[in-house]
Structure 1
Amino acid sequence: MPPTVKAALAYVLPVFALAFAFGVLRVTLIAPRTGPLPAVALELPLVLALSWTVAGRVLARWPDSRRADLGLIAFALLMLLELATALALGQTPGQFLSAMATPPGALGLAGQVGFGLVPLLRPQPRG
C-alpha cells in the first residue's frame, strides 16, 4: 500500500470514529433541544480541531506524504464512510445526497471539505 494511502487511512479512521460518536450525541441529545443546524454548528469546530490534531500526528509519521493527495484520498474515504453509514441506517443514496442540500447538510459538507483541506493547511510538525 502506498505511504500516502496509509497516511490517509491513519487520518480518516480516528477522525471518522470520533465524529461518529459526536454525531450520535448531536442527533440524540443536542439537535432535539436546539434544532439540526445549531447542533451541527456546535459539532463542527470539535471535529475540525480533532482533524487538526490527528493530521499533525499523521504528517509527523509520514512527512513525505503529498499533502494534497493525502487530503483528497482522506476526503474520498470519509465520503464513502459517510455514505456507508447512511445506507446502513436505511437511507438511499438519493436521500444521502439531498440531505447535503439542507442548511445542516451543507454546513456538514463544508466541514468535510475542511477536513480534506487540513493536511494542506497544517504546518509541518516539529520532530
Structure 2
Amino acid sequence: MANVLKAGVLYFLGVFALGFILGAIRIFFLVPYSGPVVAVLVELPFILLVSWFFCRFLTRRFTVPAEPYERLIMGLVAFSCLMIGEALVAVFLQQGRMTDFLMTFDLPENRIGLAGQIAFALFPLLQSYADSKAGR
C-alpha cells in the first residue's frame, strides 16, 4: 500500500507542476485571444496526454498492482492532493477565500477543467483495465 500512496502523491506533484506551468501560459497567452473556455479546451488535451504517460510510468516504477482497488486509491490520493493544492493556491497566492474558490466551479471553463481532473484521477484505474485487455 505504501507504493500506491507514493505513486499517488508523485502523480499529483508531477501533474500539478505541469498544470501550474500550462495554466500560466493559458492565462497570459491564450485567454486574451481566445477566451477562457477555448483556452481550457486547447490546454486540456496536452495535460491529459502527459498525465496518461506519467501515470503509466509511475504505476510501473512503483509496481502498483493492477487491482482496481489499489489503482482507485492511487487516483483518489492524487485527486485529493490536487484539489487541496488548487484550493491552497486560490486562497494563499490569489488571496481569495475558500468560498470564492468553490464558486469558480460555476464557470464553464472550470467545469471543463474539473472533468479533466476527474479523468486524471481515473487514469490509474483505466490503465489497469487497458493492461488486462492487452494481456488476454
For the aligned pair, the TM-score class normalised by the smaller chain equals over 0.9
Match of 2:134? Answer: none
Q: Report the TM-score when normalising by structure 2.
A: 0.86
- Give unpaired runs (5+ residues) of structure 2: 132-136
Q: Report the TM-score when normalising by structure 1.
A: 0.92
Larger Rg, first or second structure (1 or 2): 2
SS at match of 1:19: helix
Deviation track 1:57-79 (CA, whole Å, cap 9, x = no partner) reads: 01101223410000011100010
RMSD between superposed Cα atoms in Å: 1.6
Distance in 2 of aligned mates of 1:111 and 1:82:
14
Matches within 5 A, 1:1-127: 2-65=2-65, 66-87=70-91, 88-122=93-127, 123-124=130-131
Are the counterparts in 1 of residues 9 and 78 from structure 2 also a CA contact under 8 Å?
A: yes
Distance in 2 of aligned mates of 1:32 and 1:4:
40
User: Sequence identity of aligned pairs in percent?
Assistant: 37
Deviation track 1:19-49 (CA, whole Å, cap 9, x = no partner) reads: 1100000001100100000001111111110
Structure number with higher helix proportion: 2
The total of aligned residue pairs comes to 125
Amino acid at match of 2:105: M
